[in-house]
């Protein structure tokens, strides 16, 4: 199988040109066709010599994703289910906010982390996506938005998968997204969310970017976190918090802590008190996420009053906190559920 052209950073494309005895400015032209003009074939790249277009076509694949279904919510959220060349399917979500349009991308087919509130992990990990398969989610969605002159202005890596278990592809994806000659997404408008893969957190801190880091914390202590997120047994709570402190010290940037509120499990006042204690004096922000109902699990949603009470306790202790606004609720599905339904259908 030929590699996807979207797998390559501009520097790698320049190297490809040099290896093929071509001037490097050709790579810049190619990059422009891919990310600014967003054409769908090498044939369309009219300022590249015909022979080069043929050679590119010979060596690289252009199409990485095939749209299987699309659901549009009343609030403007669009959930896209894409098919890959090997019959796997992935989800991508486009969200419209009053401050711009964002996209949530997937980095793996399935996930092996096993968070108990998540549908993406139910069938385990199938495989990593390549950088190009992650990039293609953004380019394909941007092409869809081009029709209405909208521009993707922010990216969250919060779809299926653990990005730090697919580190190199995720990093190449980021390099391509932030390149000023391409889509040119501002680093501060990109967030990478991890379940707490400690070595990846240190490595990412050392990359010296301005990209935001989010940690799925979901519990205020080791014991409860291990119950909700088996990954906590591999990388215990205290080690994860040490990695957070390192990231903050190294980058000077605050961390977002994602906290999915699960009725009767981690949403009680004592949990809020304990969380506030852990986060006091950390440069951070807490996002409270009322958990989505996953039919395969028995979790229930936290009541509105309890959500506000949780928020109040954190704020009282000086912790910055917001409640995540839910989007696309009417088009079914927490993250991973669209794909789960599709898998059910195709394996029947």
| 218 marked as binding residue | yes
Q: To the nearest whole angstrom, how small is the minimum distance from the Cβ of residue 183 to ligand SF4?
A: 24
Closer CB to ligand SF4, 9 or 106, in the complex: 106
Segment lying near ligand SF4 (by CB under 6 A), choices 8-16, 53-61, 88-96, 106-114: 106-114
Closer CB to ligand SF4, 120 or 251, in the complex: 120
> Judged by CB under 6 A, does residue 34 bind ligand SF4?
no
Q: Name which of 167, 88, 130, 127 is nearest 4 in CA terms.
A: 130
Euclidean distance between the first and final Cα of the chain, in Å? Answer: 28
- Beta strands 255-261 and 212-216: pairing type? parallel
Q: Return the number of other C-beta atoms located less than 10 Å from residue 327's C-beta.
A: 19
Closer CB to ligand SF4, 177 or 334, in the complex: 334
Q: CA-to-CA distance for 336 and 333, rounded, in angstroms?
A: 7
| 41 marked as binding residue | no
**Which one from 43, 91, 239, 344 is the annotated catalytic residue?**
91
Segment lying near ligand SF4 (by CB under 6 A), choices 81-89, 108-116, 178-186, 315-323: 108-116
Instruction: Number of residues interacting with ligand SF4: please give it, by CB under 6 A.
Output: 11
Closer CB to ligand SF4, 121 or 142, in the complex: 121
Q: To the nearest whole angstrom, how small is the minimum distance from the Cβ of residue 160 to ligand SF4?
A: 5
Tell me if residue 335 is catalytic.
yes
Dihedral angle over CA of 117, 118, 124, 125, nearest 10: -140
**Residue numbers 184-203 binding ligand SF4 by CB under 6 A:** 195
Are 93 and 236 contacting, i.e. CB atoms less than 8 angstroms apart? no
Are 83 and 65 contacting, i.e. CB atoms less than 8 angstroms apart? yes
Tell me if residue 91 is catalytic.
yes
**Which residues are CB-contacts of 60 (< 8 A; sequence separation ≥ 6)?**
2, 3, 4, 5, 42
Backbone angles phi, psi at 219, to 5 degrees: -160, 155
Largest interatomic CA distance in the chain: 68
> Judged by CB under 6 A, does residue 170 bind ligand SF4?
no
Residues tagged in the binding site annotation for [4Fe-4S] cluster: 111, 115, 118
Catalytic residue positions? 91, 335
Chain residues in the site for ligand SF4 (CB under 6 A): 111, 113-115, 118, 120-121, 160-162, 195
């Amino acid at each position: 199988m030929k590699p996807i052209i979207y797998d390559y950073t501009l520097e790698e494309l320049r190297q490809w040109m040099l290896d093929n005895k071509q001037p490097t400015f050709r790579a810049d032209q190619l990059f422009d066709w891919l990310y600014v003009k967003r054409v769908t074939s090498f044939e369309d790249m009219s300022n590249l010599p015909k022979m080069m277009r043929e050679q590119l076509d010979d060596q690289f694949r252009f199409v990485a994703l095939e749209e299987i279904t699309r659901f549009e919510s009343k609030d403007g959220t669009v959930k896209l289910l894409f098919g890959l060349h090997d019959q796997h399917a992935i989800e991508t979500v486009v969200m419209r906010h009053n401050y711009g349009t964002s996209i949530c991308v997937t980095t793996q087919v399935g996930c092996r982390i096993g968070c108990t509130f998540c549908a993406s992990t139910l069938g385990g990990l199938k495989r990593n996506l390549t950088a190009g398969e992650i990039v293609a989610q953004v380019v394909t969605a941007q092409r869809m938005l081009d029709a209405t002159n909208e521009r993707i202005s922010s990216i969250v890596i919060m779809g299926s998968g653990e990005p730090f278990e697919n580190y190199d592809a995720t990093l190449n994806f980021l390099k391509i997204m932030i390149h000023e000659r391409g889509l040119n997404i501002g680093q501060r408008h990109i967030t990478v969310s991890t379940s707490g893969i400690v070595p990846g957190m240190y490595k990412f801190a050392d990359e010296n970017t301005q990209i935001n880091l989010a940690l799925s914390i979901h519990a205020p202590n080791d014991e409860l976190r291990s119950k909700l997120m088996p990954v906590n047994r591999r990388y215990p709570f205290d080690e994860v918090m040490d990695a957070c402190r390192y990231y903050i010290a190294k980058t000077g940037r605050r961390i977002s802590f994602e906290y999915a509120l699960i009725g009767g499990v981690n949403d009680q006042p004592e949990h809020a008190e304990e969380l506030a204690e852990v986060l006091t004096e950390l440069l951070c922000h807490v996002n409270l996420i009322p958990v989505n109902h996953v039919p395969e699990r028995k979790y229930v949603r936290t009541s509105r009053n309890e959500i506000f009470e949780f928020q109040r306790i954190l704020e009282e202790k000086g912790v910055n906190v917001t409640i995540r606004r839910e989007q696309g609720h009417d088009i079914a599905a927490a993250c991973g559920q669209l794909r789960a339904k599709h898998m059910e259908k195709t394996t029947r």
